[in-house]
Amino acid sequence: MRKITTALLFAAASTSALAQSMEANFTGPLVTPNAAALPPGVVVIEPYLIYNESHASYDTHGSRHSEHPGAHQWLQVVPITIGVAPRFNVELVAGAAHNVSGKSHSDGVQPGDTSVLLQYMLLAPRTDGTGPAISATYSHIFPTGKYQRLGDNPLNATGSGASTDRLALLGQQLFWLSNGHPLRLRGQLAWGPTLSRVNLHDVSSYGTPGGFRGWAKPGMSWGSSVSAEYGLDSHWVLAMDITWDHQRGTTLRGSPCRPDELSTDQRTPSHWVYSAAPAIEYNFNDSVGLIVGTQVSFAGHRSSAFWAPQAALNVAF
């Protein structure tokens, strides 16, 4: 989602004697990350404001069913990316959320989980920005959000309680089309191993009741996305992401507060969801850009159906 700027002289088709000069400014699509590392010393901050709404879910056959009252969430996420050394970035992501369901809501804005990402660029693009860029990333999520001992308000849950590792391979390439417009393609493939146990007490983000004592163990995860950005001119860009996220089931075991209630020993099934994220970018210059769009699910299996309008301001220092 970081900005890449390229100034190129583009030769028109051989049938034309004219040459075109165009500046390619990209803010980045909503989902698929940048595979090109920042230069050392450059810092990019890109705060997101996201409204996530779900009033339906997909069953085991992929059919969509309405759910009421549904769920709403206001989410603010702030990624800060730093170019530490040639080909090497560090990114810190923190956020906060406010949850709503029907007439109930969380007790104000609650902090979410925090992540740190390390990125190394294995293959660098050419100096003019063309040619492929390939990077490998490792990220770790720290459980800073609330996930247990939620009292009588489960909507205060904004975290998983799990320390999570994730590995990803990123790629991107910039092309100049025969009409003189830039096209940038991106892709990523990510994997997260099975997590360690998360000890749980009372009401939690895993749906446990008051007085519960036990643990949960989320399963392995996979994710992938591809994106395309088409530059209309040096300011306006059309962007689109297509994503797939897969999560294996969670094992939940424990004992309730009362001895006459049965102990819990269950495993939720795996679930996955496909989504699309069309967006439009406006780049004020080569250091500041704005992107506005919506991520919408269009297929799934045992997962929530959602739509998430969002906006982000990308600023490079």
pLDDT in tens, 164-191: 999 999 999 999 999 999 999 999 999 9
Highest mean pLDDT among 200-204, 216-220, 312-316: 312-316
Q: 3-state class of 125 per DSSP? A: coil
Residue 117's alpha-carbon distances to 16, 17, 94, 198, 248, in angstroms, are 47, 48, 12, 22, 23
Higher-scoring residue by pLDDT: 215, 258: 215
Average pLDDT rounded to a whole number, residues 90-106? 94
Average pLDDT rounded to a whole number, residues 111-128? 94
Band the pLDDT of 54: cuts 50, 70, 90: very high
CATH superfamily, with its number, for domain 24-316: monomeric porin ompg (2.40.160.40)
Q: Is the pLDDT of residue 253 over 50?
A: yes
Q: What is the pLDDT of residue 2?
A: 42
Q: What is the pLDDT of residue 125?
A: 92
Band the pLDDT of 18: cuts 50, 70, 90: very low
Q: How far is the first Cα of the chain from the last one, in angstroms, to the nearest whole number?
A: 15
Q: Is the pLDDT of residue 268 over 90?
A: no
Q: Is the pLDDT of residue 161 over 60?
A: yes
Q: Is the pLDDT of residue 302 over 80?
A: yes
Q: What is the pLDDT of residue 128?
A: 80
Average pLDDT rounded to a whole number, residues 259-266? 68
Quick check: bond before 40 cis, omega within 30? no
Q: What is the pLDDT of residue 262?
A: 59
Q: Which amino acid is at 217?
A: K
What is the sign, positive or negative, of the torsion defined by CA atoms of 123, 129, 132, 133?
positive
Band the pLDDT of 210: cuts 50, 70, 90: confident
Quick check: bond before 69 cis, omega within 30? yes
CB–CB of 283/27 below 8 Å? yes
Band the pLDDT of 261: cuts 50, 70, 90: low
Q: Is the pLDDT of residue 7 over 90?
A: no
Contacts of 222 (CB under 8 A, 6+ apart): 190, 191, 192, 244, 245, 246
All structural domains of the chain with their residue ranges:
24-316
The CA-CA-CA angle for residues 48, 221, 307, to 5°, reads 40
CA gap 283, 147 in Å, rounded? 38
pTM surpassing 0.85?
yes
Question: Mind listing the pLDDT tens digit for each residue in 121-144?
Answer: 999 998 888 899 999 999 999 999
Q: Which residue has the tokens 């919408």?
A: 296
* Mean pLDDT, the chain, integer: 89
Q: What is the pLDDT of residue 23?
A: 78
Tokens of 92: 């810190």
Q: Which amino acid is at 316?
A: A
Q: Which residue has the tokens 């969670």?
A: 250
